[in-house]
Amino acid sequence: MLGAFSGWSRVRLRASKVDPVLMRNRVSRVGGTLVGCFVAAVACAHGAVASQVAATKAALLPSGYLSTRGCQIVDRHGHAVRLACMGGFGTDIVGGRLDYDNGPYHGVDANISAVREFGFNCIRVDFNDKNVSDPVLMSQFDELVAACKKYGVKVIFDNHNNEATARNWGNAAQQSNGIWFDTGPGSDGTDGAGDKGTISDEQFLLDWVVMAKRYAGNTTVIGFDIRNEPWAHYNPRPPVWGGDGPRDIHAMYERVGAAIQKVDPGALIICEAIINWQTGAYAGDLAPVVALPVKLSVPAKVVYSLHEYAWSEVKVSKDLLIPRLNKTWGFLVAGNVAPVWIGEMGTASGPKDARGIQWDADLLAYLNGDDGDLGGPVFRGADQPVSADVWRWGCQPETEDGCMNHAGVIRPEIAAYVDGLLFRPRPVR
């Protein structure tokens, strides 16, 4: 998805139904995707959950780096935590700059202070490979990280694409060739959008090492989301999970993860699923992890990830949604195999969109462990629910985009939804 700070004024074009060609071209994601809406009817339907969750104040993440234990993300003392993140920070284009003037908060300090006040404990920050050699932007990233440190907010950096430009926003949102490089073996020498590529698999690794070195030892930066939304549908050169070929993304995760750990062993290594609309893996499919997990020399640092949006469903129905979630990623959590972070989530709904509202309610219940009778994960004792990242920060209520209104508060229709995703430590009983 497009970083909100790379251009606030963009308007999202939405599709009312699944259109594989539209999705392949990414037209519907030109301007960023919407934060899900959550109206009073949903709050009533899940009143017991909302009231229980709201009984304690949302917490920041503890100091220090994080690790994993089974399906849980834990702090240095072994206590379970929940990543309650906000997306839409960073930039996805060559020459992009951070811009904090969308809404009533101005400047990096005011915006990160508001992130904390809203109850979020981390942000996801987008960049591309060309950004790494941009000294002005990198200095802005340093300023952003410093502000997050001041307010106790953690940072996850996300490699969004190789070298997208402002003239092709779709390619910035999700690289058009579906892989993590755009030149060399395994590619056709382009980014899939008609532009000649310059980022090889090797250069991709080196760029990640530069990022990791820059923030090594800085415990504000807790993780690296290695690659945004790899995809395989309608793709003549798709990424694959395994096989040791040039497009083996599992091998890439292990190779890049190992290189990062040599310079910054404390950070989480976040590995996204491959999206494939032709197989029904609209958000991605982590089933291959069972037979072929990502293994690194520094153990307990791998977190798997995918992105959930209401528009990715042909029909909003809990009877359809829950089986898909169970099949594509929920089994990792329910079986205590590995943690999953929903690295982007939201809906294309407004206050009157019953379709999106219902999807919000169903997904929130699943993340919070309310669907154990349907095969979903259940959390007991001090265990934390599934971690997530809400798309996105900012104020564009006229387009139903952005998490806040012009008064600088969370939009009322999504307030309960957002509250249900925040981190609240649970005492061991």
**293 by DSSP, 3-state: which?**
coil
Q: How many CB atoms lie within 10 A of CB 346?
A: 32
Q: How many CB atoms lie within 10 A of CB 73?
A: 24
Q: Are 275 and 215 in contact (CB under 8 A)?
A: no
To the question of pTM greater than 0.95 for the whole model, the response is no
pLDDT-flagged residues of the chain (< 50) = 1-55, 348
Residue 168 in tokens: 């092709």
Torsions phi, psi of 11, nearest 5? -110, 135
Omega before residue 255 within 30° of 0, cis: no
Q: Give pairs for 405-412: CB < 8 Å, separation 24+.
A: 406/103, 406/104, 407/104, 408/103, 408/104, 408/105, 408/114, 410/118, 411/35, 411/37
Residue 224 in tokens: 């690296």
Q: Which CATH number is 4-406 given?
A: 3.20.20.80
Q: Residue 396: its pLDDT value, please?
A: 72
Residue 27 in tokens: 């037209």
pLDDT per position as a tens digit, 27-49:
223 233 223 322 333 333 333 33
pLDDT per position as a tens digit, 381-428:
999 999 999 988 988 766 556 888 888 888 888 888 899 999 999 986
**76 by DSSP, 3-state: which?**
coil
Q: Give pairs for 362-366: CB < 8 Å, separation 24+.
A: 362/316, 362/318, 362/321, 362/322, 363/36, 363/308, 363/321, 363/325, 364/38, 364/46, 364/49, 364/417, 364/420, 364/421, 365/46, 365/49, 366/321, 366/322, 366/325, 366/330
Show me where the domains of the chain are located.
4-406
Q: Are 366 and 331 in contact (CB under 8 A)?
A: no
Share of the chain above pLDDT 70, in %: 83
